[in-house]
A and B are shown apart, each in its own frame.
Chain A
């Protein structure tokens, strides 16, 4: 069944249709929330808020955009509100995130089968470093970069989700990548041995 039809049935209080929609989107919403939130441990609560909002607002959905875009928009707004309300505890969350990242590189970390342990460890570390640095970007740049790079949305989809123009998405993503590059550079060991182009 199409998403639009499911929403019409949800508007008529059909919990079966709601379950189908939740099953269809829960992993994507969960993934997005866990990346956008400064407290990933609150992901489940925020994801619940998102679907609760979907249920309550299903009757007011105008069917002028994709249901997925609408759900993503709700998720991004919920995460933004949550981060705004809990900003003062952000530092504690970052510290916890740092500790988790350090745990990745500990001796107990296991590499996937068939991968050289030393290089796999570095891959995990690099991923953790990228995630940590993305999380430190300004809110809007972080949201767009996560939607584009982590969630695989096109510029057009991001523009619809964030309710901005495609040109604005392009320029914001460009700035986000430059900013990310600037913040990542000092985190890698200095390889320079005086080589020049």
Chain B
């Protein structure tokens, strides 16, 4: 008998973990004599294998798998309802709705993206950076009172300006 793991090689545990194979007589060749000998000597395992094999042979008796008496009449009612003239029109509407619904959702989604983009463009109407910056700086330089501390520093930073003046 092949041993799976040291210490867990009891015959009963092997039987328990190979019940399906034993019930189908699909036990590996080398293990078969050991299984047979063990079943001869262990009444618990023999009983378990016997029970399991019986259950496995017929796992689901057909006692509760019959439809009710109203099964066929209800089926015919359903078919007749399907074949009524207005049912076809309803079916066409349902089909149209199934196609149009995702298209409508997609159109709303894309419309939202487009509208958001357009609104964003309107808010971001700003001057080019160079123009904005140079305009502000020149304006502030022109407003410096002559003889002030700021004027002194600006003159020191830019001696050319003094010379020009």
Chain A residues in the interface with B (C-beta under 8 A)? 15, 19, 22-23, 26-27, 30-31, 34-35, 43-44, 47-48, 51-52, 55-56, 119, 122-123, 126-127, 129-131, 134, 149-150, 177, 180-182, 184-185, 188, 190-197
Name B48's contact: one of A56, A182, A191 (CB within 8 Å): A191
Which B residues are in CB contact (< 8 Å) with A44? Answer: 67-68, 71
A188 with B14: in contact, given A44-B71, A197-B37 (CB under 8 Å)?
no
User: Which of chain A's residues have a CB closer than 8 A to the CB of B67?
Assistant: 26-27, 30, 44, 47
Q: Is the CB of A123 within 8 A of B10?
A: no
Q: How far is the CA of A173 from the CA of B10 in the complex (A)?
A: 28
Contacting pair B42 A191 (CB below 8 A): yes
- Judge whether A181 and B75 touch: CB under 8 Å: no
B71 in contact with A48 (CB, 8 Å): yes
**B37 contacts which chain A residues (CB < 8 A)?**
197
Report whether B79 and A55 are in contact in the complex, using a CB–CB cutoff of 8 Å: yes
Chain B at the A interface: SS class: helix
Residues of B within 8 A of A126 (CB): 51-52, 54-55
Which secondary structure dominates where chain A touches chain B?
A: helix
A41 to chain B, nearest CB (A): 11
What are 29 pairs between A and B in contact, CB < 8 Å?
A22-B75, A31-B62, A31-B65, A44-B68, A47-B67, A48-B71, A52-B75, A52-B82, A122-B51, A126-B51, A126-B52, A126-B54, A127-B55, A127-B59, A127-B60, A129-B55, A149-B56, A149-B59, A150-B59, A181-B20, A184-B19, A191-B15, A191-B16, A191-B44, A191-B45, A195-B11, A195-B42, A197-B1, A197-B14
Residues on B lying within 8 angstroms of A by beta carbon are 1, 9-21, 24, 34, 37-38, 41-42, 44-45, 48, 51-52, 54-56, 58-62, 64-68, 71-72, 74-76, 78-79, 82
6 new A-B pairs (CB below 8 Å) besides A56-B82, A197-B11, A197-B14?
Answer: A30-B67, A44-B71, A126-B52, A129-B55, A181-B17, A191-B16
Residues in chain A near residue B15, CB distance under 8 A: 191
Would A192 and B10 count as touching, CB distance under 8 A? yes
CB pair B72–A191 under 8 Å, yes or no, is no
Q: Which residues of B contact A194 (CB under 8 A)?
A: 10
**Are B75's CB and A51's CB within 8 A?**
yes
**What chain B residues lie within 8 Å of A22 (beta carbons)?**
72, 75
**Contacts of A119 on B, CB cut-off 8 Å?**
51
Q: Is the Cβ of A188 less than 8 Å from the Cβ of B59?
A: no
In the bound complex, do residue A123 and residue B62 qualify as a contact, i.e. CB atoms below 8 Å apart?
A: no
Give the interface centre of A35, A129, A192, A193 by most chain B CB atoms within 10 Å. A192
